């Protein structure tokens, strides 16, 4: 099982106090996390004992691991390998691991749906693409027959994520935030050489589809949308690229 936390601080506050270990002990489920019957337990334990990470060493025999950016790269790599080989039954990590590392799990738990965005200087909701990316670690076909995804959020956000997870709300394109960079790449490759070709290129994107279906979300008024024939309107395309 993999649990995703919002920050390294939150991991330190809960996991380093052996929250999961104590919970399992109180519920008499500690045997579920035992790893001493693993054929390579003795060999791997010697490697773990060499680590200077006190928490990694202490939690290893309980079958629980932690993973965050504050750890040394060698300790993060060791933790990933222990979880992948089944020596760690529970891995508590920041969302970065769930996004970037191909580390499959049977069950993935997202604890909290608020992420700090340094660019915006505040907190933002975890997007649906992020949720699906994290849940995608559960039940990989080549590793497992099934998988489970659990999301823990505030009561006021519950209905929102339920609608997203059941496809009741469409996923909007984020392509517009990097539109100029992607267009420059196409120009450099020679696939776009003029405005007409840029219009045609935009017409192949998911952004174009969502702009037609939900123009207000992209700053296009209904009157403007009715008067223009996107993506063939060169003036509007220029406006997008200069935005």
* Domains (range + CATH), the chain: 2-165 (3.40.50.300), 175-242 (1.10.10.10)
Q: What is the pLDDT of residues 143-170, one digit of tens each?
A: 888 899 999 999 999 988 888 888 766 7
Burial class (CB in 10 A: 0-12, 13-18, 19+), 117: exposed
pTM for the whole structure: 0.63
Q: What is the model's pLDDT at position 13?
A: 41
Compute the distance between CA of residue 141 and CA of residue 143 in angstroms, rounded to an integer.
5
Q: What is the pLDDT of residues 203-227, one digit of tens each?
A: 889 988 888 888 888 877 665 555 4
Q: Where is pLDDT greater, at 14 or 26? A: 26
DSSP 107-174: EEEEE--EEEETTTTEEEEPPHHHHHHHHTTBT-TTT-S--EEEEE--HHHHHHHHHHHTT-SPPPP-
Q: What is the model's pLDDT at position 98?
A: 61
Q: What is the model's pLDDT at position 2?
A: 55
Q: What is the pLDDT of residues 164-202, one digit of tens each?
A: 888 766 788 888 888 889 999 999 999 999 988 988 898
Gyration radius from the chain CA atoms:
23
| Alpha-helical runs (H) found in the chain | 8-14, 19-26, 41-49, 54-60, 73-84, 95-100, 128-135, 155-165, 179-189, 195-202, 206-213, 222-227, 234-242
Short-list 7, 5, 8, 31, CA closest to 89:
31
Q: Where is pLDDT greater, at 2 or 193? A: 193
Query: What separation, in Å, do the N-terminal and C-terminal C-alpha atoms of the chain show?
Result: 44
pLDDT band at 232 (very low <50, low <70, confident <90, very high): very low
Whether omega for the bond prior to residue 109 falls within 30 degrees of 0, making it cis, is no
Q: What count of Cα atoms within 13 Å lies in the side-chain half-sphere of residue 73?
A: 0
């Amino acid at each position: 099982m993999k649990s995703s936390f919002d920050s390294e601080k939150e991991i330190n506050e809960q996991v380093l106090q052996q929250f999961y270990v104590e919970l399992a002990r109180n519920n008499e489920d500690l045997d579920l996390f035992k790893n001493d019957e693993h054929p390579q337990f003795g060999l791997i334990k010697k490697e773990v004992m060499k680590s200077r990470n006190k928490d990694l060493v202490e939690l290893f025999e309980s079958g629980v691991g932690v993973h965050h950016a504050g750890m040394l790269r060698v300790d993060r790599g060791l933790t990933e390998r222990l979880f992948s080989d089944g020596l760690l039954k529970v891995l508590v990590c920041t969302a970065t691991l769930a996004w970037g590392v191909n580390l499959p799990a049977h069950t993935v738990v997202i604890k909290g749906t608020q992420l700090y965005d340094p660019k915006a200087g505040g907190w933002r909701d975890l997007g649906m693409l992020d949720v699906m990316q994290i849940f995608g670690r559960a039940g990989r076909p080549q590793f497992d027959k099934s998988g489970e995804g659990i999301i823990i959020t505030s009561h006021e956000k519950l209905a929102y994520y339920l609608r997203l997870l059941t496809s009741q709300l469409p996923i909007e394109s984020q392509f517009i935030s990097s539109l100029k960079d992607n267009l420059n790449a196409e120009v450099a490759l020679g696939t776009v050489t003029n405005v007409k070709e840029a219009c045609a290129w935009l017409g192949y994107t998911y952004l174009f589809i969502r702009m037609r279906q939900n123009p207000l979300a992209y700053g296009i008024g209904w009157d403007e949308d009715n008067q223009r024939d996107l993506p063939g309107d060169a003036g509007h395309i220029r406006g997008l690229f200069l935005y």
